[in-house]
Chain A
C-alpha cells in the first residue's frame, strides 16, 4: 500500500491554523468584498475539492479544482484530520459542516468511506450539501448499499465515471441519480 498517502501530520494542521490566524488580521468586511471581487473576476467560484478517504484516513479519490498544487497537501491533511475528529460514530449520510478561512466544508460517512466536499462563494454549505447528497446517492446506487472499502474499490471505475458526471472541473453538472446511472453507460436520459 505504499502509494497511499499517509494520514496528516499534526504540524501541517498546526501550520494551516497558524496561517488562518494571520489572515484574520484583515478586516472581515474588506476581505469579504475583495474576495467577492476576485471570485467574480477570475470566475474561480467552484467546488474546490472532492475527496474520498477510507476509515483510517487514507485517500481513495481526490479531485482538486483551482487549488494550487502546493496547497493540496495542507487541504488533504486538514480534511482527513477533520474527519478523524468528528466522524466517529456518525450515522451513514449524516452531514457535518465546518468552515475554514473563507471556504466551507461539508462531509459525511458512507459505509467505510468518508466523503468531503470543499467549496467557496457560490458553493457554500447549502450547495455543497446538495452536491454531496447526489454523490452519496450515486455511490450507494453503484455499490448497492453503503460500501465497505473493498466494495468501493471494486466499483472504482464506475464511481470515477459518476463523479465525472456530477462534478465537472468544479462545477455541478448532473444532479439526477437515475440519469447519472444511464449516462455512465452512455445511455441517453430516460425522460428525454
Chain B
C-alpha cells in the first residue's frame, strides 16, 4: 500500500526531500480508486486518489484499456457528490483519461445536465470536458447550448465555449462555422479574454474570406481592443492583409500602416514588439516606415528582461539581412549584448553585427568574438563562421584579420560540421581574394597535419593540387602533402599521391623530386595507392606512350569528368565484363532532373483491370532505349537530349498529358505521356494531331498512336519531325488529342463494343533554344575557362529591364540558356547588387560552351548584364548571344 497522502503544514518538513508520492504504484492506486464506488463518498479521500492518478498519468504511466475503463466508470459515480472541489477534480481526470467513444455515453448525460446547470462554473467545465471527448454526431446535439454559451454573461463560460470552438474547428469545421454570428457578438464583449478568444476563433472561421477578414480588422483597428493578447492577434491579421493587398495598391500610403505605427506606443511590451516586427516584415518596407520600429527595438536591446532582448535582437537580425544600413544605429547596444549570459542572444547579436558592421569596426569586432567563441556550442559557432565568410567577401581588404581568426579557431577543438564550415570559408576566401591565397593554403596545410577527418583531408589535398602549383613557391607545400603518405589512412594517402602528381606535372622544376617521392609510394600497402602512384609515374615520365601529349595529361589530371558522377556509377554497374572495353563516351552527360511527371494520379488505386501499368519511362538511358526500340525512330542516330516533361493539361483534368521533347541531329520526336483518370472510360486509338504552322523549319515525318489507354495506366504516343541538320530550329506547335471513348462497366470492368470519337484540346508546345543545350557541369570552372581558346570569346552587354531581385534575373538567364550553374553561383544573396554566374553546357553538335554572366542592379532595380561566352566553335558563341538577345 502506498503512503497515504498526508497534509503537512509545518515548514520544517519541507527541508526533508521526501515526496508525498514516494513508493507510489499503479496497482495500489487502482485499488484505492475503489473508494469512488462507496455509497458514502468521502470527497477528500477521493480527491487525493484522483491526484495520485493524475501524478501517474503525468509521469508517463499508461493504463491498459481495461484499467482505464474501470477507473473511468468509477469516476463517473462521483457526479453524485455535491462537493465542488471534488467535482473540479472529476472534470480534470475525465479529460486526462480521454475515454473511448463507446464509453463516453456513460458521462454525456451527467455532463449535459451540468452544461445546463444554474452554477456557472459547472457549465464552463462541462463544456470543456464535453468538447474534449465527444465526436461530430454528439456535437450537433449540443450545438444549441454551445451557441448560447458563447454569448453567456459569464466570461468564463463564454471563453470555455470559444476555446472549445477553436479545438472543434479542426475536427468539425462545418459545424463550428455555423456559429459565426454568436462569435461575432463575442468579439464585442467587454471581457478582455472573451474578446481575445472570439477574435482568434472568428479569424479561423473566416480566414479564407479575405474581404471578411479585412472588414473585421478594419472595424477593430478603429475600436478598442481590450487585451494586449487580442491586440497582438490583430496586428498579425493586419500584416497578413497588408501582405495580401500588396500587389493591388502599390501607390500612395500603405493601408493600416498608421495602425501598426500607433501600436508602437502601446503600453504592453508584447504589443510594441509585435508591431515592430510586423513593420519590419512589410514587403518592400521603406526606411521612413522602418525608422520608428527600429527605434523601439533599440530600446528593448537594453531591457533587463532576457525575453525582450531576445525578441528585439531576433527581429533586428532579420532586418539586417535586407536593410543592413537601417540597423547600424543599434550597433553600440548590440555590442554590449555580445557578453550576454544568454547564448542565443549573444549569437544573434554577433551575427547581426557582422552583417551591419562597417570596414573600420571589423578588427574590434573580431577581438570581441574571439573571447566569445570559447564558451559557446558548435551550432552557434557555425553560424558565426558563416557570417564571417560573407563579411570577408564584403570587405576583401580585411581578409588578413578574418583569415587569422579562422585559422585560430581551426586549431581549436570542434566537431566535423564546425570544422567543415571553417574549411569551406577559407576555401571561399582563397577563391575570391587572390591575395589571401598563399596565406590561406598554408593554414590549410597546417590543419591537415593534425586533422582527424578523412573527408576534410582529402578535400583539402584536392584543393591544394589545383591551387598550390600556381603559387610563387610551390615547393613549400610538398612537405605537408608527402607527410600524409606516411601518416594517414589509405584514402588520404591516395589523395596525397594525386596531389603530388599535379605538382609534378605543373612545376617543371619539381618534377624530378616528385618522381622520387612517387616511386616510394609504389611500395604502399594499399592497392589503390600503388596503382595511382604507378599510373602517375608513367604519365610524368611520359615513357611508355600511355599518353601522347602534354594536353592529354593535363586533361587527365585536371579535367573533370564530362559526365555526372551518378551517371558514371550507373553505367559502370551496368557494364558486364567482356571483350569490349568500357567506353567512357557512352556514359550519358545529362544531369538528371527530378522526375516531374510522376506526381499525378497518385493515391488512386488501380481498379484491377488490365495489365499492371508499364514501368515509368524517364531518365536519359530509358528514353534512349525506348526510342531505339521503335523502328520508325531507330534511324535517327544518337539521341542528343531529352527535355524534362512539360505538362499540356491542367492538374485534375480527365486526361492528363505531358510531353517530352527528344532532340536528334536532324529530327525531333515528341513523346506524349497520356494518363486516363476516368475509371468508367477506356480510350482507344489515341493520337495527337500536331499543327506545326508556326514552326516553319519542321516538317512532320511520322506518328505512332497509342492503341488503348485504360484507366490509370499511362501510355505514350509519338510524333516525329524532320528539321535541318544541326540547326537549332525553334517553333510553336499546337496539339489536339484525338481518341475513341468506350464506356466501361464499373462492376465487370468490361468495355462496351461501340465507342464515340472525341477530341481534347491540349496546351501549345514550344521548341526553344534551350532544348539544344545539355546542362553538363564542370567541376573547376576557372580551369575549364582558361583551357578554352580566348580567340572564340564573344562579349556583349544587355539591359534586362527592371526586376524584383537579382536572383530572378539570374534564374531567367540560366533557364533561357538551359545551362548548368557551376560552383554554386546559382544562389544569389538576397540583398546583392551585383553577381557573377558561371554556366556550362554542351550545345548541339557536342560543342562545349562556357558562359560568364555578370549582373548588376541600379537603384531603380534596372538590371544590366555583361555576357562573356567561350565555345570550341565561334559560331556557337554567336548563337548563344542570339538566344539571349532573342529571349
Contacts and interface: CB of A to CB of B under 8 A. Distances in A.
Interface string A145-174: 000111101101100110010001101111
Given A154-B7, A185-B85, A189-B156, A127 B229 contact: yes
B229 A156 contact: no
A164 B59 contact: no
A15 interface: no
A59 B273 CA distance: 33
B459 interface: no
A11 interface: no
A122 to B, nearest CB: 7
Contacts of B20: 150, 153-154, 156
A20 interface: yes
Interface in A90-135: 94-99, 106, 122, 124-130
A172 B229 contact: yes
A74 to B, nearest CB: 14
B51 A156 contact: yes
B14 A161 contact: no
Interface of chain A, helix or strand or loop or mixed? mixed
Interface string B456-480: 0000000000000000000000000
Contacts of A189: 154-156
B490 interface: no
Interface of chain B, helix or strand or loop or mixed? helix
A187 B270 CA distance: 30
A97 B306 CA distance: 7
Given A17-B379, A148-B17, A129 B60 contact: no
A106 B159 contact: no
B56 interface: yes
Given A4-B59, A96-B306, A154-B8, A161 B89 contact: yes
Interface string B144-163: 00000000011110011001
B17 A150 contact: yes
Interface string B88-124: 1100100100000000000000000000000111100
B41 to A, nearest CB: 17
B779 interface: no
A173 B193 CA distance: 8
Nearest to A95: B307
A126 B119 contact: no
B14 A150 contact: yes
| Chain B interface category by residue count | 35 or more
B132 interface: yes
Contacts of A156: 20-21, 51, 54-55
B307 A129 contact: yes
6 cross-chain pairs, A with B, having the tightest CB-CB distances, nearest first:
A157-B51, A186-B84, A186-B121, A129-B307, A97-B310, A126-B270
13 contacts: A1-B19, A1-B22, A5-B60, A21-B417, A40-B207, A62-B58, A96-B306, A97-B345, A154-B8, A157-B54, A161-B92, A185-B84, A189-B156
Interface of B: 7-8, 13-22, 24, 47-48, 50-51, 54-56, 58-61, 84-85, 87-89, 92, 95, 119-122, 125, 128, 132, 153-156, 159-160, 163, 166-167, 169-170, 193, 197, 200, 204, 207, 227-229, 232-233, 236, 269-270, 273-274, 305-307, 310-311, 314, 342, 344-345, 379, 417
Interface of A: 1, 3-5, 17, 20-21, 40, 42-43, 59-63, 86, 94-99, 106, 122, 124-130, 148-151, 153-154, 156-157, 160-161, 164, 168-169, 171-176, 179, 183-189, 192
Given A86-B342, A127-B232, 19 more contacts: A43-B169, A96-B306, A97-B306, A129-B307, A148-B15, A149-B17, A150-B17, A153-B19, A153-B21, A156-B21, A157-B54, A168-B163, A173-B193, A179-B156, A185-B84, A185-B85, A186-B84, A186-B85, A186-B122
